[in-house]
Amino acid sequence: PIPSLKREMRNLSGECNLEPVTVSMAYVYFEKLVLQGKLNKQNRKLCAGACVLLAAKISSDLRKHEVKHLIDKLEERFRFNRRDLIGFEFTVLVALELALYLPENQVLPHYRRLTQQS
Protein backbone atom coordinates (compact mmCIF):
# COMPACT_ATOMS: atom_id res chain seq x y z
CA PRO A 1 0.00 0.00 0.00
CA ILE A 2 2.86 2.47 0.62
CA PRO A 3 4.03 2.75 -3.02
CA SER A 4 0.44 3.19 -4.18
CA LEU A 5 -0.14 5.89 -1.54
CA LYS A 6 2.99 7.71 -2.71
CA ARG A 7 1.73 7.47 -6.30
CA GLU A 8 -1.59 8.98 -5.18
CA MET A 9 0.29 11.76 -3.37
CA ARG A 10 2.25 12.51 -6.57
CA ASN A 11 -0.85 12.45 -8.81
CA LEU A 12 -2.81 14.68 -6.46
CA SER A 13 0.08 17.13 -6.22
CA GLY A 14 0.13 17.33 -10.01
CA GLU A 15 -3.57 18.14 -10.09
CA CYS A 16 -3.03 20.92 -7.54
CA ASN A 17 0.05 22.29 -9.33
CA LEU A 18 2.38 21.66 -6.40
CA GLU A 19 6.11 21.76 -7.10
CA PRO A 20 8.18 18.54 -7.16
CA VAL A 21 10.09 19.79 -4.11
CA THR A 22 6.78 19.91 -2.19
CA VAL A 23 5.98 16.31 -3.14
CA SER A 24 9.51 15.31 -2.15
CA MET A 25 9.05 16.87 1.27
CA ALA A 26 5.72 15.08 1.70
CA TYR A 27 7.46 11.78 0.85
CA VAL A 28 10.14 12.42 3.49
CA TYR A 29 7.51 13.22 6.14
CA PHE A 30 5.56 10.11 5.18
CA GLU A 31 8.65 7.87 5.30
CA LYS A 32 9.58 9.25 8.73
CA LEU A 33 6.13 8.25 10.00
CA VAL A 34 6.55 4.78 8.47
CA LEU A 35 9.96 4.36 10.13
CA GLN A 36 8.52 5.45 13.49
CA GLY A 37 5.84 2.78 13.16
CA LYS A 38 3.04 5.37 13.23
CA LEU A 39 1.20 4.00 10.19
CA ASN A 40 -1.58 1.45 10.36
CA LYS A 41 -4.42 0.39 8.11
CA GLN A 42 -6.82 2.91 9.67
CA ASN A 43 -4.63 6.02 9.47
CA ARG A 44 -2.33 5.56 6.46
CA LYS A 45 -4.47 7.65 4.09
CA LEU A 46 -4.83 10.38 6.70
CA CYS A 47 -1.05 10.28 7.21
CA ALA A 48 -0.44 10.66 3.48
CA GLY A 49 -2.95 13.52 3.22
CA ALA A 50 -1.56 15.34 6.24
CA CYS A 51 1.99 15.01 4.87
CA VAL A 52 0.95 16.58 1.55
CA LEU A 53 -0.92 19.35 3.32
CA LEU A 54 1.97 20.16 5.67
CA ALA A 55 4.51 20.09 2.84
CA ALA A 56 2.33 22.38 0.74
CA LYS A 57 1.89 24.83 3.60
CA ILE A 58 5.60 24.94 4.45
CA SER A 59 7.11 25.01 0.95
CA SER A 60 4.52 26.78 -1.18
CA ASP A 61 3.12 30.27 -1.03
CA LEU A 62 -0.49 29.10 -1.00
CA ARG A 63 -3.41 31.43 -0.69
CA LYS A 64 -6.47 30.56 1.36
CA HIS A 65 -8.52 29.35 -1.64
CA GLU A 66 -5.57 27.19 -2.83
CA VAL A 67 -5.35 25.50 0.58
CA LYS A 68 -9.11 24.90 0.47
CA HIS A 69 -8.78 23.42 -3.05
CA LEU A 70 -5.96 21.15 -1.86
CA ILE A 71 -8.03 19.96 1.11
CA ASP A 72 -11.00 19.31 -1.21
CA LYS A 73 -8.77 17.23 -3.50
CA LEU A 74 -7.25 15.32 -0.57
CA GLU A 75 -10.73 14.59 0.80
CA GLU A 76 -11.92 13.39 -2.60
CA ARG A 77 -8.82 11.34 -3.47
CA PHE A 78 -8.23 9.62 -0.12
CA ARG A 79 -11.91 9.46 0.88
CA PHE A 80 -11.73 10.86 4.37
CA ASN A 81 -13.46 13.69 6.20
CA ARG A 82 -11.76 17.11 6.13
CA ARG A 83 -12.33 17.48 9.87
CA ASP A 84 -10.36 14.26 10.44
CA LEU A 85 -7.60 15.55 8.19
CA ILE A 86 -7.30 18.88 10.00
CA GLY A 87 -7.16 17.11 13.37
CA PHE A 88 -4.65 14.58 12.10
CA GLU A 89 -2.42 17.31 10.69
CA PHE A 90 -1.46 18.26 14.25
CA THR A 91 -0.84 14.61 15.18
CA VAL A 92 1.59 14.30 12.26
CA LEU A 93 3.23 17.59 13.19
CA VAL A 94 3.87 16.29 16.71
CA ALA A 95 5.15 12.92 15.41
CA LEU A 96 7.60 14.83 13.19
CA GLU A 97 8.61 16.84 16.28
CA LEU A 98 7.70 20.07 14.44
CA ALA A 99 10.72 19.51 12.17
CA LEU A 100 9.16 20.52 8.86
CA TYR A 101 12.24 22.19 7.41
CA LEU A 102 14.28 19.33 6.01
CA PRO A 103 17.95 19.07 5.12
CA GLU A 104 18.59 19.05 1.38
CA ASN A 105 20.14 15.56 1.48
CA GLN A 106 16.79 14.09 2.61
CA VAL A 107 14.71 15.81 -0.07
CA LEU A 108 17.07 15.64 -3.06
CA PRO A 109 16.83 11.89 -3.87
CA HIS A 110 13.03 12.10 -4.13
CA TYR A 111 13.23 15.35 -6.06
CA ARG A 112 15.63 13.86 -8.63
CA ARG A 113 13.42 10.80 -9.08
CA LEU A 114 10.28 12.91 -9.52
CA THR A 115 11.85 15.29 -12.03
CA GLN A 116 13.28 12.40 -14.06
CA GLN A 117 9.87 10.69 -14.19
CA SER A 118 8.04 13.73 -15.55
Q: Which of 44, 62, 63, 31 is nearest to 1 (CA)?
A: 44
What is residue 1's predicted lDDT score, i.e. its pLDDT?
72
Which runs of consecutive H residues, i.e. helices, occur in 1-103?
A: 2-15, 20-35, 44-59, 64-78, 82-95
- What's the structural domain count of the chain? 1
Q: What's the pTM value of the predicted model, to 2 decimals?
A: 0.89
State pLDDT tens for residues 3-56: 888 888 888 888 888 888 999 999 999 999 999 998 888 889 999 999 999 999
Output the domain CATH number for residue 47: 1.10.472.10
Which residues form the domain of 91?
2-117
